[in-house]
Amino acid sequence: MKKITLAFVLSLLVSVVSFAQVDRSQFPKAGPAPVIKIGEAETFTLDNGLKVFVVENDKLPRVSFTLVLERDPLFEGDKAGLTGFVGQMMMAGTTSRTKDQIDQEVDFIGADLGVSATSISASSLKKHQGKILDLMSDVLYNPVFPADELDKLKKQSLTGLATSKDEPGAISSRLSSAMVYGKEHPYGEVTTETSLGNVNVEDVKTYYNTFFKPNIAYLAIVGDMSKSEAEEVVKKYFGKWKAGDVPKFTYNAPVAASKTVVGLVDRSSSVQTVIDIAQPIELTLGDADYISSRVLNQIFGGGSSSRLFTNLREDKGYTYGAYSSLAADKLIGQFSANASVRTDVTDSAVVEFIYEINRLVEEGVTQEELDKAKASLAGSFGRSLESPATIANFALNIERYDLPADYYETYLQKMNALTVADINKTADNLIDPSKLYITVVGNGTEIKDKLAQFGEVIMYDNMGFPAKEMAAVDANMTSDKVLENYITAIGGKSAASAIKAAKFTMAAEIMGQQLTIEQVFDNTNMRYMQNTLVGGNVMQSSVIKDGKGVVKVQGQSIDMTDEQIDAAKLETFFLPELYYGSMGYTLTLDGIKDVEGTPAYKIIVATPLGSLVNNYYSVDSGLKIKNENPVSGDTFYSDYQEKNGVMVPMAMTIKSAMIPVPLEAKVVNIELNPELTESDFN
């Protein structure tokens, strides 16, 4: 089989002109793209319905096997998250091997083996193919689905879910999917703590027994193997796999909004806004608009020379990058344009997004843009041909999407024939600028009113559900009264003011490591110290005293700037609410917000130098339940207990960009009004 090299492909794309004839001020014109003879995958089908594609490549003594299940998208409903467990549960042990034994045997031969809810993939050196196929088929035929493994996976998933609730990108993705597809669609449903808790071992077994069938499967073999050898090998390892009926599913097709609407998730601690503008589109691989949609997207938001990137980054400086996609899918596709921008330019960025979308549809593209996009995409296509796996993917796509046999051989020819009118027609067919879902994750206080110019603003929570309606703040309620209620709730001003110093020790676990946090507060002398220890070793310490601040990380000391000290002082007092007035801080009551299901007054605390934190106080109990700090992250307070006549939170959940998962910290030792010495702050 002749290998098509990148150099060969590019030589066919660019017309040959002498150096003297080149006008270097103009983008080179591409010559006619011929039909490219791409190496074909050889194919055969087993009696059980398994379709096999073989791409022989003996350049390296390796072989890979990729098994793909072609099932309809699955709406998981009250067990959302189920499919995320299937692959790991299949790898958790078989009737003849434990999970550790599988891992050890794979590692011993330097191979790879992975399983998901819709695929199994394996690769190894040619000499180890029998061993890796034995492992692959064992996992396929004989999984035991141990219950203790599911318990571990569910705990991991719950931790990941908790992390994602505070990750702006994850929040944006959930919100956009929910608005574009709807929560009753497979692409719009959301995994929750409840749905994860509903999944049991029998559900995983039922999924496996229902969908792992050869008659809906494709097997791609790439590497040092001929078709004749593949037939022998596949029959040996997959011939006994029994076919079965697999259910089909249909869903109502999502439709574009009747008018442009704005979905907003209020994330008060955000200093950036995540913007995604989307709508569902009818686009499948092989559609008349598919190839032209690749070119259209390349022009609009496909890279650093695209319109979005040039406008929002190069011209306006709103973001590090702005991009778009026109995603094709057998069920329903999606148009999307997105960027993360500074909070203060959120509305301006949305204006530019909408301007560019309108300009794309109403004014179209230019010949120069078309030529550049074709050249870029042709280069990417040519580079992809260097990988034998590409040939296998092409063969799979032709089969799965019922494409013409020469679809990829004539791909460049079809793309080269596209005209400006073709691209403009595709833009008109796929994108409707008057019916957009604009999703925004950011500081609602700063941006909500500004977003109203684009359409109705609908509030959502961080899981993509409509936000709970919060009662309006009573006309007589003020920020001072909120703090008075808090002081009363923890035991009264007299008891609270009597505490002049405190020592805390908190314990937590992160990634299997024991973490200890030590804090010392000296309210009288405005001194503060924090040590963070991992495995008993101090990894980081912070000290503020005598108006100065020092951070020490693994032995290296860094002096805090005046601005950093100003921000840190907001957190250095034990019961800081007692000192807001004397420190000259400004308090703003910013309504009632939903904090994990609890209505809470939001108080914005600002220092004279402009540093900000947000505190949330339960409307019902008056207790502080959350603190948002742009520097240290978000802290949730719970398990209040009485200590020296004052209610103190003994459990804290800390979410920060500096740690990969939420930190569940428990107070294991507390001293109120201890004798402090200089050594406590060294």
SS (H, E, C) 268-311: CCCCEEEEEEEEEECCCCCCCCHHHHHHHHHHHHCCCCCHHHHH
Contacts of 463 (CB under 8 A, 6+ apart): 165, 174, 190, 192
Q: Do 202 and 322 reside in the same domain of the chain?
A: no
pLDDT tens digit sequence for 446-497: 999 999 999 999 999 999 999 988 888 999 999 999 999 999 999 999 999 9
**Number of structural domains the chain divides into:** 3
Q: Do 17 and 67 reside in the same domain of the chain?
A: no
More confident residue, 435 or 41: 435
How far apart CA 346 and CA 476 sit, in angstroms, is: 33
Q: Do 436 and 505 reside in the same domain of the chain?
A: no
Examine residue 63 and state whether it is found in any structural domain, yes or no.
yes
Examine residue 408 and state whether it is found in any structural domain, yes or no.
yes
Tokens 């400004």 belong to which residue? 586
Counting every residue, how long is the chain? 682
Q: Do 437 and 310 reside in the same domain of the chain?
A: yes
Specify the pLDDT at position 15: 33
How far apart CA 258 and CA 180 sit, in angstroms, is: 12
Q: Do 25 and 47 reside in the same domain of the chain?
A: no
Specify the pLDDT at position 127: 95
Among the ranges given (312-321, 395-404, 561-570, 637-646), the one the predictor scored with the smallest mean pLDDT = 561-570
Examine residue 473 and state whether it is found in any structural domain, yes or no.
no
Examine residue 1 and state whether it is found in any structural domain, yes or no.
no
Q: Give the mean model confidence (pLDDT) for residues 274-294.
A: 96
More confident residue, 241 or 567: 241
How far apart CA 188 and CA 113 sit, in angstroms, is: 30
Q: Is the pLDDT of residue 12 over 70?
A: no
The pair of three-digit structure tokens given for residue 228, joined into one six-digit string: 């004749």
Q: Do 610 and 655 reside in the same domain of the chain?
A: yes
Q: Which of 406, 432, 460 is the last residue of a domain?
A: 460
Residues 109, 114, 120, 122, Cα dihedral to 10°: -20
User: In whole angstroms, how far apart are CA 350 and each of 7, 65, 177, 258, 443?
Assistant: 42, 45, 19, 19, 15
Could you give the 3-state DSSP secondary structure of residue 194?
helix
Q: Please name every residue paired with 276 in a beta bridge, in sequence order, or none if there are none.
A: 338, 439
Banded model confidence at residue 636, pLDDT cuts 50, 70, 90:
very high
Contacts of 50 (CB under 8 A, 6+ apart): 214, 215, 217, 218, 219, 234, 238, 241
Kindly report the three-state secondary structure assignment for every residue of 83-128. HHHHHHHHCCEECCCEHHHHHHHHHHCCCEEEEECCEEEEEEEHHH
Examine residue 141 and state whether it is found in any structural domain, yes or no.
yes
CATH of the domain at 556: 2.50.20.10
How far apart CA 604 and CA 343 sit, in angstroms, is: 17
Tokens 């593949």 belong to which residue? 230
Specify the pLDDT at position 37: 64
How far apart CA 443 and CA 630 sit, in angstroms, is: 11
Of 573, 422, 416, the residue nearest 499 (C-alpha): 573
The boundaries of the domain holding residue 66 are 42-238
Q: Do 96 and 212 reside in the same domain of the chain?
A: yes
Residue type at position 43: T
Could you give the 3-state DSSP secondary structure of residue 313?
helix
Examine residue 361 and state whether it is found in any structural domain, yes or no.
yes
How far apart CA 391 and CA 411 sit, in angstroms, is: 13
Banded model confidence at residue 255, pLDDT cuts 50, 70, 90:
confident
Largest CA distance in the chain: 91
Examine residue 37 and state whether it is found in any structural domain, yes or no.
no
Q: Do 47 and 180 reside in the same domain of the chain?
A: yes
Q: Do 231 and 309 reside in the same domain of the chain?
A: no
How far apart CA 580 and CA 487 sit, in angstroms, is: 13
CATH of the domain at 284: 3.30.830.10
401-428 per-residue burial string, b: 16 or more CB within 10 A, e: under 16: eeeeeebbbbbbeebbebeeebbbbbbe
How far apart CA 169 and CA 158 sit, in angstroms, is: 18
Specify the pLDDT at position 35: 56
pLDDT tens digit sequence for 95-141: 999 999 999 999 999 999 999 999 999 999 999 999 999 999 999 99
Torsions phi, psi of 102, nearest 5? -60, -50
Output Rg (C-alpha) for the chain, integer angstroms.
30
Q: Give the mean model confidence (pLDDT) for residues 522-542.
A: 89
Examine residue 644 and state whether it is found in any structural domain, yes or no.
yes
Half-sphere exposure of 522 (CA within 13 A, CB side): 17
Q: Which of 426, 460, 494 is the last residue of a domain?
A: 460
Q: Do 541 and 404 reside in the same domain of the chain?
A: no
How far apart CA 359 and CA 352 sit, in angstroms, is: 10
Q: Do 19 and 65 reside in the same domain of the chain?
A: no
8 Å CB contact between 644 and 650:
no
Specify the pLDDT at position 5: 36
Q: Which of 402, 425, 460 is the last residue of a domain?
A: 460
How many Å from the N-terminal Cα to the C-terminal Cα in the chain?
72
How far apart CA 222 and CA 220 sit, in angstroms, is: 6
Q: Do 615 and 493 reside in the same domain of the chain?
A: yes
